[in-house]
Amino acid sequence: MERILEAKRLKKYYPIRKIGRRSYVKAVDNISFSVEKGEILGILGESGCGKTTLGRVITRLETENGGDIFFLGNNISGINYRKMKNFRQKMQVIFQNPYDSFDPRMTIIKSLETPMKLLNIGQSKKNRIEIIRDAMEKAKLTPAYDYLERYPHELSGGQLQRISMLRSMLLKPSFLVADECVSMLDASVRAEVLNMLLQFRSELETSILFITHDISVAKYMCDRIMVIYAGKVMEIADAKELISNPMHPYTKALISYSPTISPQKERERFTIAGEVVTPIDPPPGCRFASRCPFAKGICRTEEPEMKEISPGHFVACHLID
Amino acid sequence: MLNMPFMRLKKVDISYKLENASVKAVRSFSCDIEKGDIVGIVGESGSGKSTLALGIMRLLPPNALLSAEIMSFDGKNILNLNQDELRRIRWKEISIVFQKAMNALSPVHKIFTQMYDVITAHSSDIPKGRAYKMLTELFGKINLPSKVLNMYPHELSGGMMQRVMIAMSLIHNPKMIIFDEVTTALDVITQGQLLDEIKRLVKEFGLTAIIITHDIGVVNEVCNKVAVMYAGELLEYGRVKDVIFSPLHPYTKALVKSHPDLRIGNELIKGIPGSLPDLTYPSKGCIFYPRCDVRLDLCKDVKPKISVLGDHIVKCHRIQG
Amino acid sequence: MEVQTEVIVTRRKGKNIIKFWHNYRQSLYGLIGFVILLLFIVVAVFAPIISPYDPHAMKGEVLLSPSISHPMGTDHLGRDVFSRIVYGTRVSLSVGFIAAGLSAIIGIFIGSFSGYYGGIVDEIVDKIVDTFLMIPAFFLILIIVAIFGNSIFYIMLVIGLTTWPQNARLMRAQALSLRERTFIMVARATGESSIRILFTHIIPNGVYPVLANTALQMGGAILTEAALSFLGLGDPNLVSWGKMIYQARPYMTFAWWTVVFPGIFIVLAVVSFSFIGDGLQYAFNPKLSVKQKEVSA
Amino acid sequence: MSGFIRFIIRRTISIVPMVLLIVLINFFIIHLAPGNPAQIISGLEQPSREVIKALEHRYGLDKPLVVQLGIYFKNALKGDLGYSYIYSEPVIDLIKERIGATLLLTLTSAILAFVSGTFLAAWSSRYKKGILDSILSILSYVLYAMPSFWLALILILIFSSNLRWFPTAGMFNVRLSLHGFARFGDILYHLFLPVLTLTLIQIPVYFRVTRSSIFQVSRDEYILTMTAAGLERKKIFNKYVLKNAILPSVTIFGLTLGYAITGAALVEIVFAWPGMGRLMLDAVFKRDYNLLLGIYFVLAVCICIAILLTDIFYAILDPRIRYK
């Protein structure tokens, strides 16, 4: 298998100004993972856990404070803007808010054509417009001109998100970061967008980093899932394995609290207390210790190592041997 | 009014007057709610569910027009009450918890001040000391520390604020509470904790509740009945196990099919093509006609009647009751 | 196909202007202000035709009260007040347009650069802007004009150079919020250069509050020029409304018209610009985000 | 509470660069102005060679520009603003004599405008879109557009020249030497028209800000909550809408002081009020740059302090601010 992207010990700290001493939000703290060709890796976590920051560091919208990112065999960490231009086409990103993904003063066609022009795709404007039209028709956004001449505010969220995906896919990227790309959409449109993403994956063999807070969506979309909490990886495993056999208490809680439409109603809750913590100058030990019902002394003093408990299933927890 | 149910809504219409159009947000909504029910009103954005909640509370903005055949609650007609009578019913009989808890309290007043004002709005002769004791007790029931009373809203997390709002809704022991998307902005675990809390409180206080949500998973977790709304109309109403596990209306069926679920096998989810109809136009036939995959010719021009199958209500030409 | 798109784009652009006007009309004040301003422009352009007398001619009798031959009377040197007011329009309008225009251009550039790039430069700009906003610009203008000279160009230049911080602050706030918007992220992720982003996305999307404010600043510049003239610091070679009041003040108690009329015209001009600012706010109020609101609601 | 004290300290520190910036502006103006800086500082038309030498030494004018700037800073912060050429007195002493009268005028009118503007906004918001609201709104545009000096002249024309209700000029009647309460009354009597002028031109700012803020706050979610909870409308307005709606006008109070003090200077000239305005006019006419710059510096510092005070007041009203 071809390795598309590898992140090694990535760090992103945000300073908080206070009189006296400096504090840091350790939004991404020593996170390592890799994505193979055509694979969808889910990044699962609650708000403020660092998943969006992780996506932005990888796509070079933010600069990391440490660690390395290898993309198609090149180290792109700390790379400057000009050099990154060579990778832009190969690495694309889709954001959460479809309504805001297009310049409100530009027609859809202009928003679609500009990146192609900048990255030298298509020989002429005419050619590019043809490519766009064909792609639109293939994505069942027909008749294409009905959409292309419009301004973003004239379209619905589902339509915009599909066009937004199209915009990325026209560049034929080998890697795509989808940052909460369905969280603002209604259930009925959400499925269409997810399926479109799956279709792209199978057609272009694009690897996808699928960032989400919804474990049900992650299960539907991903080959592997990485669970993060307060800037740290808690567990990483094959999607089916993670959901059927969660090891980390946090993963167990996430699964237990996730609403379902299955008939067996009276399940046993794996209850935990408290709310998500922001990792501001986090104390030593496991980040989850303050909420973990099983936390022992060691959990508060020593950081747990990643352990491979079965092939491909890694957990960071002191309680698991 | 002996055989009247606890709450009866019959042919409720709500429209908003805009500059040069009028939006029919709720159309001919009818349903009965029995004492002790937890009714989920589920629908996507634009389905009119939140407008309906405001209509029941008679809290609609001045540009909204409300009309109904019957709107009764606990033997009282709430359609014809004047402002003063309404004021006395609000919170004593029905209270509401809004989605955006962070904005639901004044940012420059302490929580106790606001709680105390709510107390004195209906029972003016309670001294502060007693109110404080009463609130401490109430907060205890919702797992809120009493020190929260002396804090300002911005000092609390989203989950905490939502608890505060629930506590506030309980102050005058109302008979019914409407929860309007109360968990939408919250993380999965916090949402789960809060839903558990709501379930417990409804039992403990002998409440009747309406839970408005876009997530059928949430409905399945807490409700015993569910009303499915689409573009302002009620399409299906009945017990949760009937409506979700053996839906009759094509829309409900599609909605269930578009829901990725953790505990149900890995089948393909499907979206509903098309988008919401323009609510500024009156619809002649079935409101779901343009997106329905099993539509009949009849559906285009003839409004389906409500079919009653025991306690399961459906509005579809294909179902005969 | 190319042609077809082009046609469509221009058609849409035309529509935008119509839409802009449609929104602008929503404000009655805006409409009135627009009409008054048009009248003022006509008066300024055709001053020699409109004014019945030479504004500098000291022919008439001294301090005549308003009559048919002198609708606004004459001043202490026997000059026709109405004719002087007509010529004064030229000074006021050009001060308004040029000074506020300069202020807008400087403000837009400094504000958008500083807001979009951020960092230490932004912090310094922010402090400077804050300081300028707090301290009365009028005194600084006064000092500079008193020291360096009081030709009308100087006055316009100095007003422009001292009032840009307001615009810079508005533009900076816009740039700061636009910077976090998704479509800017998209532009960055698809490799658009910073300069390109600044000129094709940030400025076109964020410039509206500055434009509305510029209308207000035009009025402000007129008031500033009037105040300078009232202190005797106006351009010695031109007729301006403020200067008329300054010169007429000693005779005010027995020739009210020499003071009252120029003042009324100052008020009228400034009000018309404020009204236009009001109209622009209506026109620019982006209803583009309506759908977004619906989703979050 | 320690958060609050930290906030005050932080705000106070943040004033420092502003004061430094003002000094910097002054310094550059002196050096860019036509003529010799030493001559300007001396306040003399043709100072003797010795005087120039002495001043050059004292202000380090023979040293490099950076050193000069340092010395200038030190002197300005000590209150040494040079000599006035028309009065041959230290600038700081001239200002000290008159600043009281100016501040009396400015602050009285600013506070009155704040109170009445807010009150009018609250009052007119009850009759939204009615005739009263429209009249007040148009009036606010007109008053906003009015040059302060012209309004002052008009008021004199009406109330002093024609009706003879109020004096045209001065701060007290020089012919009577009143004491105690009578003197206080006399000052109030003289204060009336100037304060009225300044209050009127400032009301629109507060009126408009508060009005739109009331409109906005009324649509906030917590007002809906309070209505749903069955609170009386009047109580909601008086307690919740007003306190939240007043916050923006408190913020602009500090920022508007600059505008107020400009108006005050012009109005002082019209009413011959013995404040800094008169001093400024003299300085302009006789080209007394040193005095002008001194006035500018002192006014700027006063405004900085006033803004600091409003910030602190704001923080008391709005609990959110301390934690930002």
Confidence label for B202 from pLDDT (cuts 50, 70 and 90)? very high
- What's the total number of domains in chain B? 1
Task: State the first-to-last Cα distance of chain C, in angstroms, to the nearest integer.
Answer: 40
Q: Is the CB of residue C228 less than 8 Å from the CB of residue C76?
A: no
Distances from the Cα of B251 to the Cα of A146, A187, B275, angstroms: 27, 12, 13
Do β-strands B208-213 and B176-180 pair in parallel, antiparallel, or remain unpaired?
A: parallel
- Please give the average per-residue pLDDT across B260-275, as a whole number: 82
Report yes or no on B128 lying in a domain.
no
The SS3 call for residue B226 is strand
- The answer for B 29-48 residues in CB contact with C (under 8 A) is 45-46
The proportion of chain A whose per-residue pLDDT surpasses 70, expressed as a percent, equals 97
For A39-48, A197-206, A296-305, D4-13, which range has the lowest pLDDT when averaged over its residues? Answer: D4-13
Cβ neighbours of D261 in C, within 8 Å = 136
- Please give the average per-residue pLDDT across D11-37, as a whole number: 81
- Please give the average per-residue pLDDT across B179-186, as a whole number: 89
Cβ neighbours of D185 (radius 10 Å): 12
Q: What DSSP letter does each residue of A81-101 carry, written as one string? A: HHHHHHHHTTEEEE-S-GGGS
Query: Which pLDDT score, from 0 to 100, does residue C294 have?
Result: 31
Answer yes or no: is pLDDT of D323 > 60.
no
Query: pLDDT per residue over A60-75, tens digit each?
Result: 888 889 999 999 988 9
Write the residue in C181, C189, C204 that is nearest to A92 by C-beta. C189
* Positive or negative torsion for Cα B75, B79, B80, B82: positive
- What's the total number of domains in chain A? 2
Report yes or no on B157 lying in a domain.
no
Query: Which pLDDT score, from 0 to 100, does residue A242 have?
Result: 95
Nearest CA in chain A to C288: A153
Provide the CATH number for the domain around residue B271.
3.40.50.300
- Chain C closest-CA separation from residue B45 CA (Å): 6
Q: In what order do the strands lie in the sheet containing B233-239? A: B94-97, B176-180, B208-213, B38-42, B225-230, B233-239, B312-315, B306-309
Cβ neighbours of A19 in D, within 8 Å = 6, 9-10
A55 touches chain C (CB under 8 A): no
Query: Which pLDDT score, from 0 to 100, does residue C293 have?
Result: 32
Answer yes or no: is pLDDT of A189 > 70.
yes
Q: Look up the domain containing C136 and give its range.
A: 2-284
Query: Which pLDDT score, from 0 to 100, does residue A240 have?
Result: 92
- H helices present in chain C, as ranges: 2-25, 28-45, 47-50, 81-94, 100-117, 119-134, 137-148, 152-179, 182-189, 194-197, 203-206, 208-230, 241-248, 257-284, 290-296
Write down the mean pLDDT value for chain B.
90
Q: In what order do the strands lie in the sheet containing A74-75? A: A23-36, A3-16, A66-71, A74-75
Query: pLDDT per residue over B29-72, tens digit each?
Result: 999 999 999 999 999 988 999 999 999 999 998 889 999 999 99
Report yes or no on B98 lying in a domain.
no
Write down the mean pLDDT value for chain D.
85
- Residue A292 and residue A257 in one domain: yes
Nearest Cα to Cα of residue A309 among A298, A317, A297: A317
Provide the CATH number for the domain around residue C117.
1.10.3720.10
CA atoms of B89 and B82, how far apart (whole Å): 11
For A228-242, B133-147, C218-232, D83-97, which range has the lowest pLDDT when averaged over its residues? Answer: D83-97
Contact C267 D269 (CB under 8 A): no
D159 touches chain C (CB under 8 A): no
Q: Is the CB of residue D12 less than 8 Å from the CB of residue D311?
A: no
Confidence label for D175 from pLDDT (cuts 50, 70 and 90)? low
**pTM for the predicted model, two decimal places:** 0.87
Residues 6 or more apart whose CB falls under 8 angstroms from that of B154 comprise B102, B107, D319, D320, D323
- Chain A closest-CA separation from residue D228 CA (Å): 28
Report yes or no on C289 lying in a domain.
no
- What's the total number of domains in chain C? 1
- Residue A143 and residue A72 in one domain: no
CA atoms of D130 and A18, how far apart (whole Å): 50
User: Which strand (E) or helix (H) includes residue A147?
Assistant: helix A144-148
Cβ neighbours of B14 (radius 10 Å): 22
Nearest Cα to Cα of residue D95 among D105, D77, D82, D111: D82
Write the residue in D222, D227, D323 that is nearest to B106 by C-beta. D222
Report yes or no on B101 lying in a domain.
no
Contact B92 D232 (CB under 8 A): no
Query: Which pLDDT score, from 0 to 100, does residue D19 have?
Result: 84
Query: pLDDT per residue over D216-268, tens digit each?
Result: 898 889 999 999 999 998 999 999 999 999 999 998 898 888 888 888 999 99
What is the token pair recorded at B194? Answer: 């809060």
Query: Which pLDDT score, from 0 to 100, does residue A18 have?
Result: 62
Cβ neighbours of C223 in D, within 8 Å = 145, 147
Query: Which pLDDT score, from 0 to 100, does residue D11 have?
Result: 83
Do β-strands B94-97 and B176-180 pair in parallel, antiparallel, or remain unpaired?
A: parallel
Per-residue exposure over B181-214, b if at least 16 CB sit within 10 Å of its own CB, e if not? bbbebbbbbbbbbbbebbeebbeeeebbbbbbbb
Q: Look up the domain containing A210 and give its range.
A: 3-90+175-186+203-316
- Residue A79 and residue A146 in one domain: no
- Please give the average per-residue pLDDT across A181-192, as a whole number: 90
Query: Which pLDDT score, from 0 to 100, does residue C6 have?
Result: 42
**Torsion, CA B244, CA B245, CA B246, CA B248, rounded to 10:** 20
Contact C294 B45 (CB under 8 A): yes
Nearest Cα to Cα of residue A157 among A101, A209, A218, A203: A101
CA atoms of C112 and C168, how far apart (whole Å): 7
Answer yes or no: is pLDDT of A187 > 90.
no
Most confident of A258-267, B237-246, D25-34: B237-246
Q: Look up the domain containing B85 and give its range.
A: 7-93+174-315
Query: Which pLDDT score, from 0 to 100, does residue D67 have?
Result: 81
Report yes or no on A264 lying in a domain.
yes
- Residue A165 and residue A228 in one domain: no
Q: Which parts of chain C register pLDDT below 70?
A: 1-15, 285-297
Query: Which pLDDT score, from 0 to 100, does residue D107 have?
Result: 92
A220 touches chain B (CB under 8 A): yes
Confidence label for B127 from pLDDT (cuts 50, 70 and 90)? very high
CA atoms of A145 and A137, how far apart (whole Å): 10
The set of chains that have 3 or more CB pairs under 8 A with D is: A, B, C
Contact B46 C294 (CB under 8 A): yes
B102 touches chain A (CB under 8 A): no
Strand partners, A35: A5
Cβ neighbours of A203 (radius 10 Å): 10
Cβ neighbours of D323 in A, within 8 Å = none
Report yes or no on A50 lying in a domain.
yes
Cβ neighbours of B261 in A, within 8 Å = 216, 260-262
Query: Which pLDDT score, from 0 to 100, does residue C2 have?
Result: 37
Contact A89 C292 (CB under 8 A): no
Report yes or no on C290 lying in a domain.
no
For B33-37, B271-275, D34-38, D261-265, which range has the lowest pLDDT when averaged over its residues? Answer: D34-38
Contact C267 D161 (CB under 8 A): no
Interface test mutation site (partner A, options C6, C183, C192, max chain A beta carbons within 10 A)? C183
CA atoms of A256 and A250, how far apart (whole Å): 10
- Residue A158 and residue A179 in one domain: no
Answer yes or no: is pLDDT of A138 > 60.
yes
